[in-house]
Amino acid sequence: MKMKEEEKIVIIGLGLIGGSLALDFRKNKERALLLGIDTDKEHVREALELGIIDCEIDRSQIAEADWVILAIPVDKTAAILPEILDLVKEDAVVLDVGSTKEQICKAVENHPKRRNFIAMHPIAGTEFSGPSAAFEGLFAGKTNIICEIEKTAFSIQEKALQLFKKLNMRIRYMDPKAHDKHIAYVSHLSHISSFMLGKTVIAEEQNERDIFDMAGSGFESTVRLAKSSPAMWTPIFKQNKKRVLKSLSEYIDNLNHFKMLLESDDFDSVYTEMEETNKIKEILKGIHLKKELSYGE
């Protein structure tokens, strides 16, 4: 009986997302050889020690890859993706996992191997970074947004969708501009809010050393995202600047309105503002129920 050939999977960027994908590839691919590339040599060393990758390679060896996953900051993805597509073989699957999609898609819109590329954004992650933050099963039950699927060869789509199914990911298809618009509200704005809340409290803590002893679970959950990597998030805000500014302006308007109600002692309106916003509980409950039903299909 002929032994199945090894599939060579190249992970570019060995942090939380790249490392977690590598672990899932190892679990779901019968003969997977995990090959890593990272500019941070400490990340490479750690990924080898943790068994996330089998060995380190350089970019010249990408030509032999069956899969290439770009899990690096979005500005770097847009810059090197055309070069990666230049190198890959005809049937290789190339994925990126960036939190913005329009500029990345635009960078390769006329590339002769555009059909090898799947622009995706798995809505998954934690506030931690680096190879030690990676874990198997990160993407189970999570939504994976795929943009411009019609530009990807059907055979490449099939390979990728088979993998996503094994990882128990929910698939949504979206235009890159629509993706970047919506994600500005539900992800990018949340991170800015968390960072700035953290900054506000840190400034106060300089005068009151015991303020963090009083911080409860509400504060901890709200400020959790402020522990995220600035190296990853600064390029995201830069690439999606226009949409982030719009969402941020609307958020600031709402904060100023709430401040005005407090200043004017209009606590009936304060109550109404919060009561009307409480309906988000039902919205989120419906979303979670819909997800649970889809997983059972």
pTM: 0.85
* Superfamily of domain 7-174 in the CATH hierarchy: NAD(P)-binding Rossmann-like Domain (3.40.50.720)
Q: At a CB cut-off of 8 Å and minimum separation 6, what does 28 contact?
A: 163, 166, 167
Which has more confidence, 201 or 173? 173
For all residues of the chain together, what is the average pLDDT? 90
Helix (H) or strand (E) holding 67, with range, is strand 67-70
Over the stretch 128-176, which tens digit does the pLDDT of each residue have?
889 999 999 999 999 999 999 999 999 999 999 999 999 999 999 999 9
Query: Mean pLDDT over residues 89-93, rounded?
Result: 96
Provide the β-strand partners of residue 122: 144
Provide the β-strand partners of residue 174: 147
Same CATH topology for 7-174 and 179-264: the answer is no
182 vs 284: CA distance, rounded Å? 16
* Superfamily of domain 179-264 in the CATH hierarchy: 6-phosphogluconate dehydrogenase C-terminal like domain (1.10.3660.10)
Over the stretch 24-67, which tens digit does the pLDDT of each residue have?
999 988 789 999 999 999 999 999 999 999 999 999 899 999 99
Q: Domains of the chain: which residue ranges?
A: 7-174, 179-264
